[in-house]
């Protein structure tokens, strides 16, 4: 061959080989793009990183911070020192209300050991005490939030600063859905909005589709699930398809706007909820015995009892992550009159939480459901305004049950007055890593590229998982 057309046999073979390689590479890249487009699709279930011990979570969030030294962490030495200045040996922390110089305040609680594990629980939680052998009580929790905004944010998102994805959003991103007609992640409030509001169940920098769905109080916890006057299912379906076409046309050239795709999915989910939602929240299908078990027949327990019962119904219908607020708007925040405050909120939560444990157990769901109880931090051993307690993020208590948890045990300890964790400290990031582990997710592998960085739910923490929870 002559001129530009001249080609050796070697060059011909090289070119043909390169072409075949390029075709193979193109096919592989296409598969990668397809996988990237679907691997984190919340409408499908995803495989966990390892065999899970729990399939779902229900987080009972006592907002406002219950006093650990009045519920699960008795301090005889604190009672002996009641009214005295705090010894310098304990250090003087910076507190939210500047109360570190106040005198120590003992607890008037009556304490008993419960269950085979001998877990200490005060008389404020008599119903929960009956389930002591199901509980792993972690007495050495720590956070960084001095105030409620930061504390609630960190317990939900891992950081005291708002803007990061909530734990439920990470779980949804990592595992996808286990149902087709209900949200994967639900957050339920009681009478008021919690600190941080929607940021507590938001998706942060994750695509907006992973955010939680808010359930409210009343007969219609999910808004707009009933067809309006004159509407039919056919007309609703046609409207939905029209809106989806408009949104997808608008999405062209704006593919990075995850809010549009989330809007499309939210309308689809809303349509599915019109079919399945009313049945899921219809408590009339429950027996009178079950309603009474949760305390729906008593005004003090009816609100949170209803939410706990709704939570169980959602869990058994495939909702993967449920968070229930008790004391939304910092109800447990006992800066004054701790006795009346905790008497109210312990009454509101004791029977419903115990009922949830009992109900899940007898339905065969507890072994696969991780139950978490706790607030954003604890309360100080020194007084505020004479009869209240300030915020304490340095050492407080949470408990866990079900979902692979080894019950009947107490993990960690605070010092003699309940101020700081001194044995087996567990930061919120460590707790989140432990929760994710129980769900089959490795917090180091659960990542999302954001601003050039592989972000993970535990930020740069979580290296000290609480393996004692599952006997690890």
User: Per-residue pLDDT for the chain (472 aa), expressed as one digit of tens each?
Assistant: 444 445 566 665 565 555 555 555 554 444 334 334 434 566 688 999 999 999 999 999 999 999 999 999 999 999 999 999 999 999 999 999 999 999 999 999 999 999 999 999 999 999 999 999 999 999 999 999 999 999 999 999 999 999 999 999 999 999 999 888 899 999 999 988 899 999 999 999 999 889 999 998 776 776 655 656 766 777 766 777 787 787 777 778 776 676 666 666 666 666 666 666 778 889 999 999 999 999 999 999 999 999 999 999 999 999 999 999 999 989 999 999 999 999 999 999 999 999 999 999 999 999 999 999 999 999 999 999 999 999 999 999 999 999 999 999 999 999 999 999 999 999 999 999 999 999 999 999 999 999 999 999 999 999 999 999 999 7
Between CA 66 and CA 393 the distance in angstroms is 12
To 5 degrees, how large is the angle CA 154–CA 159–CA 165? 90
For 20, the 3-state DSSP assignment is helix
Q: Are strands 185-188 and 213-215 parallel, antiparallel or unpaired?
A: parallel
User: Is-contact 319 186, C-beta < 8 A?
Assistant: yes
To 5 degrees, how large is the angle CA 384–CA 389–CA 392? 120
User: Is residue 450 assigned to a domain?
Assistant: yes
pLDDT of the residue at 214: 93
Domain identity same for 295 and 232:
no
Q: What is the DSSP string of 401-439?
A: ESTT---SEEE-EE-TTSSSEEES-EEHHHHHHHHHHHT
pLDDT of the residue at 5: 46
Domain identity same for 229 and 352:
no
Q: Could you tell me which residues come within 8 angstroms of residue 34 by beta carbon, excluding any fewer than 6 positions away?
A: none
Residue 92: CB atoms within 10 A of its CB come to: 10
pLDDT of the residue at 270: 62
Between CA 320 and CA 444 the distance in angstroms is 21
Give the residue from 246, 261, 278 where a domain finishes.
Answer: 278
- Residue-wise pLDDT tens digits, 240-268: 778 778 777 777 877 667 666 666 666 66
To 5 degrees, how large is the angle CA 9–CA 12–CA 15? 150
Q: Which two tokens stand for residue 306?
A: 């209803």
Domain identity same for 299 and 406:
yes
User: Is residue 1 assigned to a domain?
Assistant: no
For 345, the 3-state DSSP assignment is helix
Give the residue from 278, 299, 315 where a domain finishes.
Answer: 278
Give the residue from 262, 278, 294 where a domain finishes.
Answer: 278
pLDDT of the residue at 30: 43
User: Is residue 9 assigned to a domain?
Assistant: no
pLDDT of the residue at 252: 81
pLDDT of the residue at 14: 61
Q: What is the DSSP string of 38-68?
A: HTT-TTSB---SS--S-SEEEEEEETT---G
Domain identity same for 234 and 349:
no
Domain identity same for 100 and 208:
yes
- Residue-wise pLDDT tens digits, 95-133: 999 999 999 999 999 999 999 999 999 999 999 999 999
Domain identity same for 432 and 414:
yes
pLDDT of the residue at 44: 83
User: Is residue 432 assigned to a domain?
Assistant: yes
User: Is residue 21 assigned to a domain?
Assistant: no
Residue 77: CB atoms within 10 A of its CB come to: 14
Domain identity same for 197 and 342:
yes
Domain identity same for 328 and 427:
yes
Q: What's the domain range around 228?
A: 223-278
Q: Which two tokens stand for residue 261?
A: 């795709």
Between CA 436 and CA 429 the distance in angstroms is 11
Between CA 242 and CA 300 the distance in angstroms is 47
Domain identity same for 388 and 307:
yes
Domain identity same for 271 and 309:
no
Give the domain CATH number at 147. Answer: 3.40.720.10
User: Is residue 261 assigned to a domain?
Assistant: yes
pLDDT of the residue at 247: 75
User: Is residue 77 assigned to a domain?
Assistant: yes
User: Is residue 217 assigned to a domain?
Assistant: yes
Domain identity same for 427 and 382:
yes
Domain identity same for 264 and 124:
no
Count of domains observed in the chain = 2
């Amino acid at each position: 061959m002559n001129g530009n057309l001249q080609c050796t046999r070697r060059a011909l073979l090289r070119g043909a080989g390169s072409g075949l390689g390029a075709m193979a590479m193109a096919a592989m890249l296409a598969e990668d793009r397809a996988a990237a487009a679907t691997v984190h699709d919340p409408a499908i279930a995803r495989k966990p990183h390892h065999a899970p011990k729990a399939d779902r979570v229900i987080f009972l969030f006592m907002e406002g911070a219950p006093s650990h030294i009045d519920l699960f962490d008795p301090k005889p030495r604190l009672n002996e020192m009641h009214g005295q200045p705090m010894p310098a040996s304990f250090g003087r922390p910076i507190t939210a209300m500047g109360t570190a110089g106040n005198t120590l305040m003992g607890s008037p609680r009556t304490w008993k050991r419960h269950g085979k594990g001998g877990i200490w629980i005060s008389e404020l939680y008599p119903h929960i005490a009956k389930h002591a052998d199901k509980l792993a009580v972690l007495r050495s929790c720590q956070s960084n939030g001095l105030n409620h905004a930061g504390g609630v944010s960190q317990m939900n998102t891992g950081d005291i600063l708002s803007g990061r994805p909530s734990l439920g959003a990470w779980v949804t991103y990592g595992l996808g859905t286990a149902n087709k007609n209900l949200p994967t992640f639900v957050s339920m409030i009681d009478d008021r909005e919690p600190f941080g509001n929607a940021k507590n169940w938001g998706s942060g920098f994750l695509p907006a589709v992973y955010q939680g769905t808010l359930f409210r109080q009343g007969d219609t916890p999910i808004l707009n699930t009933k067809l309006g006057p004159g509407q039919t299912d056919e007309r609703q379906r046609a409207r939905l398809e029209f809106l989806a076409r408009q949104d997808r046309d608008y999405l062209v050239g704006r593919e990075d706007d995850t809010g549009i795709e989330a809007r499309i999915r939210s309308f689809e989910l809303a349509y599915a909820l019109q079919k399945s939602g009313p049945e899921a929240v219809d408590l009339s299908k429950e027996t009178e015995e079950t309603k009474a078990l949760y305390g729906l027949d008593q005004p003090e327990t009816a609100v949170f009892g209803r939410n706990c019962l709704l939570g169980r119904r959602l869990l058994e219908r495939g909702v993967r992550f449920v968070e229930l607020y008790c004391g939304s708007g910092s109800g447990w925040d006992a800066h004054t009159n701790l006795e009346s405050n905790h008497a109210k909120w312990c009454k509101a939560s004791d029977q419903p939480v115990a009922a949830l444990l009992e109900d899940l157990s007898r339905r065969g769901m507890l072994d696969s459901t991780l139950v978490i109880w706790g607030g954003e931090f604890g309360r100080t051993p020194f007084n505020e305004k004479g009869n209240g307690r300030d915020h304490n993020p340095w050492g407080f208590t949470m408990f866990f049950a079900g979902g692979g948890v080894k019950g009947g045990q107490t993990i960690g300890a605070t010092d003699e007055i309940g101020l700081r964790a001194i044995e087996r400290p567990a930061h919120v990031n460590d707790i989140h890593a432990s929760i994710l582990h129980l769900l089959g997710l490795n917090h180091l592998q659960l990542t999302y590229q954001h601003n050039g960085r592989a972000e993970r739910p535990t930020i740069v923490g979580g290296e000290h998982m609480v393996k004692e929870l599952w006997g690890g």
